[in-house]
Amino acid sequence: MFNALVVEKDEDSGKTSAAVKQIAVDDLPEAEVLVAVEYSTVNYKDGLCVGPGGGLVRRYPHVPGIDFAGTVEASTDDRYKPGDKVILTGWRVGEAHWGGYAQKARVRADWLVPLPEGLDTRAAMAVGTAGLTAMLSVMALEDHGLEPGHGPVLVTGAAGGVGSVATAILAHLGHEVAAVTGRPETEDYLKDLGASRIVPREELTEVTKKPLEGEQWAGCVDAVAGVMLGRILKQMKYGTSVAAVGLAGGAAIEGALITPFILRGVNLLGIDSVMQPYENRLRAWERIARDLPMEKLEAMIRPATLSDLPELGRDILKGQVKGRVVVDVNA
Ligand code: NDP
């Protein structure tokens, strides 16, 4: 038997509750690889799955945790053998399939990548899904021509998970990073990660009817959408790109007009970490190991245990988590 955070639903009231319980390997879903989980994290989707469900959880009881890193304990797939260190992100694990908030998980071999050289399992989860998405965003901006020296690159939701990692990677690569935050108290934290400038959230949250504004940004990693993305699109330099990652500030692009796309050739790139093929995930993890300074990663970490998760799930939905929560499932 081993520990897991199990979310159950009361059929009469429809209410869900989450608690640490003992479960057995036989309870786990069928799949090729059994992993002894070491670390998991808290992402926005985890907040939804630990709490009232948000439509993401298909069946109860459920073990959430959309990412984890650990050591293979048994495998019926030739690609993995006991003792291999692995990372899991995406593929609706933690939503449609039991996830990483447990001391063991059983998943498809296709969903894993080997831990790249230069990262241990704790560092891998300090990065986690949010950090992988930040790296995929930077790679997409580079594929569309972004290079250091082109001008300031904007990062929204900067004190959150995606934003923190994006800020650190971009600064390390030599970009001038302008970090947008609604929490002025995170200024020192963001500057330590490498931001050269802090942009208060209020500067970008007023809807305007102007078709375009002054050209300012050479690129953008946006975790917020809503009004802010509408404003940012109008401020992008000619021929640049926005990597749109999330919707912490609203599911629509509000106040936006078609003009930035037609008159300035701006690209809006949708970034999805969930269904990324193996080669892309591996390439992104290898770049993370190379381009994310470990001392900066250390500054982002808030440690947690399985029993902290219900509260942390609520915090992340309120936008109150700074950096990355690393869950030691064996603590
Ligand atoms: P976090 O909660 O860690 O960060 C989100 C940040 O957004 C907050 O810290 C806050 O930053 C800012 N924010 C929150 N609410 C608002 C608001 N109402 N208006 C403006 N800014 C707001 O989440 P993550 O970084 O993990 O994820 C960010 C988004 O990206 C989520 O929507 C998530 O679902 C999505 N995501 C998408 C992935 C993909 O594959 N596309 C993968 C991972 C995440 P600050 O306090 O600095 O302003």
Alpha carbon 185 to its chain's center: 22
Ligand 1 first shell, C-beta below 6 A? 43-45, 129-130, 133, 157-163, 181-183, 201, 223-224, 228, 245-249, 271-274, 316, 319, 321
On whether the CB atoms of residues 218 and 153 are closer than 8 A, the answer is yes
Query: What is the model's pTM?
Result: 0.96
On whether the CB atoms of residues 242 and 266 are closer than 8 A, the answer is yes
Comparing CA positions, the residue from 279, 331, 292 lying closest to residue 119 is: 292
Domains detected in the chain: 2-115+298-328 (3.90.180.10), 129-270 (3.40.50.720)
Q: How far is ligand 1, taken at its centre, from the CA of residue 157, in Å?
A: 5
Nearest CA to ligand 1 atom 39: 272
Euclidean distance between CA atoms 330 and 103, whole angstroms: 7
pLDDT tens, N- to C-terminus, the chain (331 residues): 999 999 999 989 889 999 999 999 999 999 999 999 999 999 999 999 998 766 799 899 999 999 999 999 999 999 999 999 999 999 999 999 999 999 999 999 999 999 999 999 999 999 999 999 999 999 999 999 999 999 999 999 999 999 999 999 999 999 999 999 999 999 999 999 999 999 999 999 998 889 999 999 999 999 999 999 999 999 999 999 999 999 999 998 888 899 999 999 999 999 999 999 999 999 999 999 999 999 999 999 999 999 999 999 999 999 899 999 999 999 9
Euclidean distance between CA atoms 98 and 204, whole angstroms: 39
Nearest CA to ligand 1 atom 14: 319
Atom of ligand 1 nearest to the CA of 130: 43
3-class SS letters over 3-19: EEEEEEECCCCCCEEEE
Q: How far is ligand 1, taken at its centre, from the CA of residue 181, in Å?
A: 11
For 237, the enclosing helix (H) or strand (E) is: strand 236-244
Nearest CA to ligand 1 atom 35: 246
Q: How far is ligand 1, taken at its centre, from the CA of residue 44, in Å?
A: 7
Q: What is the DSSP secondary structure assignment for residue 185, as one 8-state letter?
A: G
